[in-house]
Amino acid sequence: METNTMKTFTVREARAKLAKLVEQAHDGAPVILVHGKRPVKLERYDLLDPEHDSDELEAELLKAVLGPHSAYSHSEMRAVADRALRAHRKR
């Protein structure tokens, strides 16, 4: 597949072939959708993957996971539960 050619579609045109356009964007092809006069680029979104991300990012994530943590006290948990209950009742 050629990934250097910019593909531009109106939203109406893209509707019928959205799955194909998503696959092309996932494979690296630039895809632009235009709604009215507003262009939007459809592009691949990668989740963080420690296997492929930088060593610096991996170290920061590890620090966050292994960092100092302490359990909530009973009163802290009660306060959290009370706030959640009040928010739920407001809905």
Give me the CATH number covering residue 29: 3.40.1620
Same domain, 38 and 16: yes
High-pLDDT (> 70) share of the chain, % = 89
Q: What is the pLDDT of residue 31?
A: 92
Give yes or no for a contact between 31 and 24, defined as CB atoms under 8 angstroms apart: yes
- Asked, for residue 28, whether it belongs to a domain, the answer is yes
Chunked in runs of 10, what are the mean pLDDT values of the chain (91 residues)? 69 91 90 92 77 75 80 89 91 78
Its pTM surpasses 0.75: no
Residue 22 lies inside a defined structural domain of this protein? yes
Number of domains forming the structure of the chain = 2
Q: Which residues contact 24 (CB under 8 A, 6 or more apart)?
A: 1, 7, 31
Same domain, 38 and 65: no
Nearest by Cα to 50 from 34, 64, 36: 64
Is 48 within the bounds of a domain?
Answer: no
Q: Which domain holds residue 38?
A: 7-42
**Would you state the pLDDT for residue 49?**
65
